[in-house]
Amino acid sequence: MFTIVVIWDADNAEVTQWDETPWVTTFKDREVSLRAGPRERVDANGVSSQVAVYLPDEFNEEEFQDLFAAHEKRIPELHLHG
């Protein structure tokens, strides 16, 4: 199982679980693309999980970086660095 973070826009993101991490998929009637991961994350309790981040296709790489940084502050699953 993979932990999936879907960042919809500057104010909305959600965390869900998927069995796989396709490059592109339709989720909640919108096409989203894999933008980061899957990468291993170990939480404060030592539990390891594979995390991938998806974003709607209309956002470019620079917008992705900005949105990721904004949501990283409040979504623990985005804390992917050591």
pLDDT in tens, 39-56: 988 877 888 889 999 999
Residue 76 carries which DSSP code? G
CA distance 26 to 53: 14
Predicted confidence at residue 6, as pLDDT, reads 98
Residue 5 φ/ψ region, left for φ over 0, alpha for ψ in the -120 to 50 degree band, beta for the rest: beta
CA distance 43 to 65: 22
Tokens 């981040």 locate to 53
Give this prediction's pTM: 0.90
7: CB partners within 8 A, 6+ apart: 13, 53, 54, 55, 64, 67, 68, 71
